Amino acid sequence: MADANINYNTAVNYWESTTSDVNGVLGGYGEQTTLPQVEQQGSLKFIKKLKSRMLMNKDEEIMYGRRVMDFGAGIGRVTKNVLYKINEGNPHQQTMRFDLLEPASNFVDQMRIDLQPVNEQGLLGDIYHMGMQDWPHNVQDGSMNNKKYWLIWCQWCLGQVPDNELIYLLERCKKLLVKNGTIVVKENTINSFGLDEQDEFDPQDSSVTRTDNKFRWIFEKAGFNLIACERQKGLPEELFPVRMYALKPRED
Ligand SMILES: C[S@@+](CC[C@H](N)C(=O)[O-])C[C@H]1O[C@@H](n2cnc3c(N)ncnc32)[C@H](O)[C@@H]1O
Q: Does ligand 1 have an atom closer than 6 angstroms to the CB of 6?
A: no
> To test the ligand 1 pocket, which listed residue (68, 152, 157, 244) has its Cβ within 8 A of the most ligand atoms?
157
- For atom 13 of ligand 1, which residue has the closest CA? 72
- Report the pLDDT value the prediction gives residue 195, as an integer from 0 to 100: 77
Contact 69, 39 (CB under 8 A): no
Ligand 1 center from residue 28 Cα (angstroms): 15
Contacts of 7 (CB under 8 A, 6+ apart): 206
CA atoms within 13 A on the CB side of 68: 25
The response to whether residue 22 sits with its C-beta less than 6 Å from ligand 1 reads no
Q: Are the beta carbons of 70 and 100 closer than 8 angstroms?
A: yes
Distance 49 CA to ligand 1 centre (A): 26
Three-state SS letters, the chain:
CHHHHCCHHHHHHHHHCCCCCHHHHCCCCCCCCCHHHHHHHHHHHHHHHHHHHCCCCHHHHHHHCEEEEEECCCCCHHHHHCHHHCCCCCHHHHHEEEEEECCCHHHHHHHHHHCHHHHHCCCEEEEECCCHHHCCCCCCCCCCCCCCEEEEEEECCHHHCCHHHHHHHHHHHHHCEEEEEEEEEEEEEECCCCCCCCCEEECCCCEEEEEHHHHHHHHHHCCEEEEEEEECCCCCCCCCCEEEEEEEECCC
219 in contact with ligand 1, CB cutoff 6 A: no
Binding residues for S-adenosyl-L-methionine, by number, are: 72, 77, 132-133, 155
CATH classification code of 2-249? 3.40.50.150
Positive or negative, the CA dihedral 208, 101, 111, 9 is negative
Pocket-testing residue among 8, 19, 25, ligand 1, by greatest number of atoms within 8 A of Cβ: 25
Q: Hey, what amino acid is at 63?
A: M
The finding on whether 186 has its CB within 6 A of some atom of ligand 1 is no
Question: What is the spatial distance between Cα 242 and Cα 36, in angstroms, rounded to a whole number?
Answer: 13
Using CA atoms, how far apart are residues 163 and 218, in angstroms rounded to an integer? 7
Cα-to-centroid distance, 72 and ligand 1 (Å): 4
Domain boundaries, the chain: 2-249
User: Does the CB atom of residue 69 touch ligand 1 within 6 A?
Assistant: no
Q: Is 8 in the pocket of ligand 1 (CB under 6 A)?
A: yes
Per-residue pLDDT of the chain (252 residues; tens, 9 = 90+): 899 999 999 999 999 999 999 999 999 999 999 999 999 999 999 999 999 999 999 999 999 999 999 999 999 999 999 999 999 999 999 999 999 999 999 999 999 999 999 999 999 999 999 999 999 999 999 999 999 999 999 999 999 999 999 999 999 999 999 999 999 999 999 999 877 899 999 999 999 999 999 999 999 999 999 999 999 999 999 999 999 999 999 987
